[in-house]
């Protein structure tokens, strides 16, 4: 029997409790282990299948090294290493929906040390963002949905992953750092049996919904969704989001906003980690800025320092 875990901020606890209900529906005997990348709060009426993860010492020094989002994401393999025991373990992003049983992943985890979900399942023209270069910078595999089973290979994988994240776990694409996710690109080469699952039902999110049909999905992931505006922000993607995923995200938002804990917890600022940088501008504005920047650089090759010389120093 597989078990589940997630890592969340306090403000994501309503999402986690919704996820716990979905797990109980499809896996009545399974538990959802929940770790905070945040300060603890006192919670009323915890779902029976939710198990809180105690403090993990290896993560404590990282609270003042990484931003809130970086800490949330790089915590995942540390928690996995702490939890992995007799049963296979599946990670789901806290803002996820489990829509059925993960039969293929369960079968693979009987033999394979780790099962990954691909961001894309086929090549696409790089006319929209996220594009191929984005995934080369941030990861070919989706760190919001993966599974592992106990064994020597898995132990080596988790130790290697955690070791790298201790010092190289931030978002610095020019230096080859894409938080926890980019490291997954190397795992099929370094750890024998790590299996990238090619299945359109797994790991559906804003960056790949355009290539999925929406028929018989198993996991939806809504990380980055704006619950007030009920849409994905324009800085995340300029790809068309298909109706099936747009409707699913809006319906999920209604459940989150209606959850009894959302009013008290939904806006809490994470207690751990350095402040996150400002949100990026919309992709359309980024493209215009890139075009104008190229034009300025071209003009300055004709007449050096003609435009904005102080900005070139």
Domain co-membership, 73 together with 183: yes
Q: Which residues is 220 bridged to in the sheet?
A: 97, 204
Domain co-membership, 304 together with 159: no
- Max mean pLDDT among 132-141, 252-261, 278-287 falls in 252-261
Q: What percent of the chain has pLDDT over 90?
A: 68
Domain co-membership, 157 together with 301: no
pLDDT category at 175 given cuts 50, 70, 90 is low
Please give the average per-residue pLDDT across 60-71, as a whole number: 93
Check whether 311 has a pLDDT greater than 60.
no
Domain co-membership, 62 together with 87: yes
Average pLDDT value over all residues in the chain: 89
**pLDDT greater at residue 44 or residue 289:** 44
Residue 39 has a pLDDT of 79
Residue 292 has a pLDDT of 58
**Residues in Cβ contact with 307 at an 8 Å cutoff, skipping those fewer than 6 apart:** 296, 299, 300
User: Which two three-digit tokens encode residue 119?
Assistant: 């961001």
Tell me, letter by letter, the H, E, C secondary structure of 11-58.
HHHHHHHHHHHHHHHHCCCCCEEEEECCCCCCCCCCCCCEEECCCCHH
Domain co-membership, 171 together with 231: yes
Domain that holds residue 139: 3-280
6-20, 55-69, 71-85, 231-245: least confident range: 231-245
CATH code, domain carrying 98: 3.90.550.10
pLDDT category at 294 given cuts 50, 70, 90 is low
pLDDT category at 22 given cuts 50, 70, 90 is very high
pLDDT tens, residue by residue, 114-134: 999 999 999 999 988 888 988
pLDDT category at 93 given cuts 50, 70, 90 is very high
Confidence (pTM): 0.88
Give the span between the Cα atoms of 159 and 258, in whole angstroms: 40
For tokens 């355009």, what's the residue? Answer: 210
Total of domains in the chain: 2
Domain co-membership, 218 together with 156: yes
Check whether 221 has a pLDDT greater than 60.
yes
Check whether 299 has a pLDDT greater than 70.
no
Domain co-membership, 289 together with 311: yes
pLDDT category at 313 given cuts 50, 70, 90 is very low
Check whether 165 has a pLDDT greater than 90.
yes
Domain co-membership, 191 together with 110: yes
Check whether 96 has a pLDDT greater than 90.
yes
Domain co-membership, 132 together with 15: yes
Domain co-membership, 35 together with 7: yes
Domain co-membership, 298 together with 224: no
Residue 122 has a pLDDT of 94
Task: With residue 250 as reference, give the H or E element that holds it.
Answer: helix 243-258
Q: What is the dihedral of CA 172, 196, 117, 123, to 10 degrees?
A: 80
Domain co-membership, 301 together with 232: no
């Amino acid at each position: 029997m597989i078990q589940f875990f997630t890592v969340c901020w306090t403000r994501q606890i309503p999402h986690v409790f919704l996820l716990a209900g979905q797990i109980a529906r499809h896996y009545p005997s399974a538990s959802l282990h929940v770790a905070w990348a945040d300060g603890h709060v006192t919670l009323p009426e915890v779902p029976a299948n939710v198990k809180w993860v105690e403090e993990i010492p290896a993560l404590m020094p990282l609270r003042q090294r990484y931003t809130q989002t970086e800490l949330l994401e790089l915590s995942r393999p540390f928690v996995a290493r702490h939890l992995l025991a007799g049963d296979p373990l599946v990670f789901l992003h806290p803002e996820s929906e489990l829509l059925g049983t993960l039969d293929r992943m369960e079968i693979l985890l009987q033999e394979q040390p780790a099962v990954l979900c691909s961001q894309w399942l086929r090549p696409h023209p790089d006319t929209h963002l996220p594009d191929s270069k984005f995934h080369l910078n941030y990861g070919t595999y989706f760190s919001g949905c993966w599974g592992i089973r106990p064994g020597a290979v898995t132990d080596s994988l988790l130790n290697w992953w955690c070791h790298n994240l201790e010092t190289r776990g931030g978002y610095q694409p020019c230096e080859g750092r894409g938080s926890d996710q980019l490291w997954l690109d190397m795992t099929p080469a370094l750890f024998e049996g790590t299996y990238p699952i090619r299945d359109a039902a797994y790991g559906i999110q804003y960056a790949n919904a355009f290539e999925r049909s929406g028929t018989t999905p198993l996991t939806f992931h809504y990380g980055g969704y704006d619950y007030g505006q009920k849409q994905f922000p324009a800085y995340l993607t300029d790809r068309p989001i298909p109706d099936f995923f747009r409707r699913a995200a809006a319906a999920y938002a209604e459940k989150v906003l209606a959850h009894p804990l959302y009013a008290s917890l939904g806006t809490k600022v994470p207690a751990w980690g350095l402040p996150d940088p400002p949100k990026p501008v919309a992709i359309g504005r980024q493209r215009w800025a890139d075009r104008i920047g190229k034009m300025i650089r071209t003009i300055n090759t004709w007449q050096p320092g003609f435009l904005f010389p102080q900005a070139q120093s």
